[in-house]
């Protein structure tokens, strides 16, 4: 069975020397190394060994409740006990009050160690963000401590049979009776919609309290249990059989007059949900990075031991001596490292709050570029390992299956491509595109001619009435430049640090 090695040094290097995390007022390099290093040890020792177990066993629906694979409840208990669920929750509410940028380091390692468990636990920071921004004081006081201590896990309940990419088609109804909101309807594909590892579940549900379209949608907080301990009217009607992520229960949920609380303003549901979704998009981008890094690690270690073929002198060699194998390993490495830098840059800029147009433009670019990178590297890792890559035993095929979902959820990559070609280019009168071009130019003078070409194409596309047919090609071009810019910044930082040593 393959051992998981957290890419700790690469993560810390990217945060410190490339993304410039020290520009953040609350940043402390030593603390970051300690916190992320601590999590890396926990992930390697306790979380990762469950990855293959979870893949083989999967989740079960028994008596209307989801049962997680063996060992998951124990490890989640340790995770919660050590306070990891409260990393970004303010100290006043029982959390560690640390930066979301630090969370990113933890999150990537978590995904590489066990994407399924990360998927069930990782919607909490987004939920915390929603409550801090849109929740009332009473809601924050009631729920933030419970999320920080790991008593509650949270879900993001958007998708319905008729409402996938198009959330304006949501039909789940929210009706207020005697001052209590009640939800009725069906949600599908809800990650962690039920499980038996946390005491309760806090569902964030997008439901229709008004008329048609997105303006009729509001955001609700719906607990799996009422205050008196009885079950709320939310039940799991099925869990999906999937290609990968077998230990992450993907649930169909029936809301049958379930009691709920409104979060924020009525009709402001999509806006509030976007807070969670923007967090989740970078988190999914980091899942892609994690799969790329895992692919690179599996491939590199295997290739350093596998003897096949001979060198020019007739001596047997390990396969990493072959140029084609070395090329594939280097590509996996590059996809992981450049993608990580891109995400870290976006996260640091978001935390600084001084370049909102750039962050808004970069978020879908990170999601698309890094999830494509994860799939490509996971695929190449199998190729490096030859027939053994195709076997279950070595972990590369699970990495490939688990990586695939990242391009689908949190908005399909096709939808993100459309967003960039439409809203992205129109954003603030083109300010997002200008900020992105400036970011590319600042990365390296080598990109100057290509950036000029991209700007000309962006200007043309901005005048096209329906750019849908050109969206994919434009997104590919955009992501290629973004990854090249990230790579240039990484290489420059490596030279700087080496020169200073
Ligand atoms: C394992 C898993 C976990 C999930 N977890 C959650 C969760 O926790 N919460 C949640 O709410 N949802 C979740 N989802 C749902 C996921 O977000 C949706 O599957 C995704 O948004 C796509 O919706 P859809 O499946 O209905 O596909 P569709 O919307 O039917 O899309 C199918 C294809 O058509 C394309 N397409 C659709 N509309 C357009 C358009 N206007 N322009 C261009 N192309 C278009 C898409 O890009 C895609 O290629 C999960 C799904 C899976 C499989």
pLDDT digits (tens, 9 = 90+) for 285-338: 999 999 999 999 999 999 999 999 999 999 999 999 999 999 999 999 999 999
Look up the pTM and report it.
Answer: 0.97
In a domain, 275, yes or no: no
| Cα 415 to ligand 1 centroid, rounded to whole Å | 9
Phi, psi of 202 (to 5 degrees): -105, 105
Q: What is the CATH number of the domain that holds 265?
A: 2.40.110.20
Pair of tokens at residue 304: 């350093």
Domain coverage including residue 21:
8-148
| Residue-level pLDDT at 1 | 57
- How far are the Cα atoms of 213, 383, 461 from residue 308, in angstroms, in the given order? 61, 14, 50
Q: Is the dihedral of CA 390, 393, 396, 400 positive or negative?
A: positive
pLDDT tens sequence across 216-232: 999 999 999 998 999 99
Distance of CA 474 to the CA centre of its chain: 23
Q: How many CB atoms lie within 10 A of CB 327?
A: 12
Domains contained in the chain, number:
3
Given its phi and psi angles, is residue 139 left (phi above 0), alpha (psi -120 to 50 degrees) or beta?
Answer: alpha
pLDDT per residue as tens digits for the range 230-240: 999 999 999 99
CATH number for the domain spanning 326: value is 1.20.140.10
Tally the residues of the chain: 501
Q: Does 90 lie in the same domain as 28?
A: yes
Ligand 1: residue whose CA is nearest its atom 4? 189
- Residue 300 maps to a domain: yes
- pLDDT level of residue 278 (50, 70, 90 thresholds): confident
SS3 237: strand
Residue 170 near residue 124 (C-beta atoms within 8 A):
no
245: left (phi over 0), alpha (psi -120 to 50) or beta: left
418 lines ligand 1 (CB under 6 A): yes
Strand, helix or coil for residue 291:
helix
Considering the domain architecture, whether residues 126 and 243 belong to the same structural domain is answered as no
Buried b (16+ CB within 10 A) or exposed e, 27-41: beeeebbebbbebbe
Residue 3 resides in a domain? no
| Tokens coding 99 | 């930066």
Q: What CATH number is given to the structural domain containing 115?
A: 1.10.540.10
For ligand 1, atom 47, name the residue with the nearest CA. Answer: 414
Mean pLDDT, residues 75-99 taken together: 97
From 59, 153, 165, 407, the mutation candidate for ligand 1 (largest count of ligand atoms within 8 A of CB) is 165
Residue 445: partners with Cβ closer than 8 Å, 6 or more residues away: none
Other beta carbons less than 10 A from residue 307's beta carbon: 10
294 lies in the same domain as 436: yes
Q: Which residue has the tokens 């198009």?
A: 166
Residues 313, 456 within the same domain: yes
Report the mean per-residue pLDDT for the chain.
97
193 with 335, same domain: the answer is no
For residues 294 and 479, give the distance between their C-alpha atoms in angstroms, rounded to a whole number. Answer: 21
Please check whether residues 125 and 257 belong to one and the same domain: no
Catalytic residue numbers? 410
Segment 324-353, tens digit of pLDDT: 999 999 999 999 999 999 999 999 999 999
2 found inside a domain: no
- DSSP state letter for 6: -
Q: Above 60 in pLDDT, residue 137? A: yes
pLDDT tens across 351-407, in order? 999 999 999 999 999 999 999 999 999 999 999 999 999 999 999 999 999 999 999
Cα 248 to ligand 1 centroid, rounded to whole Å: 17
């Amino acid at each position: 069975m393959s051992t998981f090695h957290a890419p700790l040094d690469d993560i810390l290097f990217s945060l410190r020397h490339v993304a410039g995390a020290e520009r953040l007022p609350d940043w402390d390099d030593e603390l970051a190394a300690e916190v992320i290093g601590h999590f890396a040890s926990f992930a390697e020792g306790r979380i990762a060994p469950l990855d293959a177990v979870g893949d083989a066993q999967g989740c079960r629906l028994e008596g209307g409740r989801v049962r997680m694979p063996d060992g998951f409840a124990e490890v989640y208990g340790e995770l919660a006990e050590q306070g990891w669920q409260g990393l970004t929750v303010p100290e006043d509410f029982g959390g560690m009050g640390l930066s979301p940028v630090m969370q990113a380091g933890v999150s990537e390692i978590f995904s590489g160690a066990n994407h399924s468990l990360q998927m069930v636990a990782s919607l909490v920071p987004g939920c915390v963000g929603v409550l801090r921004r849109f929740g009332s004081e009473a809601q924050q006081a009631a729920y933030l401590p419970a999320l920080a201590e790991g008593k509650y896990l949270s879900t993001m309940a958007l998708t319905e049979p008729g409402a996938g990419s198009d959330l304006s088609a949501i039909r789940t109804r929210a009706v207020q009776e005697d001052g209590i909101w009640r939800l009725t309807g069906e949600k599908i594909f809800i990650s962690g919609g039920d499980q038996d590892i946390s005491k309760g579940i806090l569902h964030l549900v997008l439901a229709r309290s008004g008329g048609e379209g997105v303006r009729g949608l509001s955001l609700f907080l719906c607990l799996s249990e009422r205050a008196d301990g009885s079950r709320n009217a939310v039940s799991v009607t099925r869990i999906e059989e999937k290609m990968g992520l077998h230990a992450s229960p993907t649930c169909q949920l029936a809301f049958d007059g379930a009691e709920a609380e409104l979060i924020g303003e009525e009709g402001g549901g999509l806006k509030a949900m976007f807070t969670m979704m923007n967090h989740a998009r970078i988190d999914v981008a980091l899942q892609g990075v994690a799969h790329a890094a895992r692919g690179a690690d599996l491939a590199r270690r295997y290739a350093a031991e596998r003897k096949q073929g001979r060198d020019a002198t007739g001596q047997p060699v390990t396969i990493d001596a072959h140029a084609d194998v070395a090329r594939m390993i280097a590509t996996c490495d590059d996809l992981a490292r450049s993608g990580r830098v891109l995400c870290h840059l976006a996260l640091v800029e978001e935390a600084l709050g001084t370049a909102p147009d750039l962050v808004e433009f970069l978020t879908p670019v990170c999601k698309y570029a890094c999830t494509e990178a994860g799939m490509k590297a996971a695929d190449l890792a199998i190729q490096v390992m030859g027939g053994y890559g195709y076997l279950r035993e070595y972990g590369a095929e699970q990495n490939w299956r688990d990586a695939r979902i990242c391009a689908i959820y949190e908005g399909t990559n096709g939808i993100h491509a459309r967003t960039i070609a439409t809203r992205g280019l129109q954003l603030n009168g083109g300010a997002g595109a200008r900020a992105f071009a400036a970011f590319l130019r600042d990365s390296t003078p080598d990109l100057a001619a290509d950036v000029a070409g991209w700007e000309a194409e962006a200007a043309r596309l901005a005048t096209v009435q329906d750019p849908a047919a050109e969206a994919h090609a434009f997104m590919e071009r955009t992501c290629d430049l973004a990854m090249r810019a990230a790579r240039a910044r990484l290489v420059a930082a490596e030279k700087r640090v080496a020169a200073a040593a």
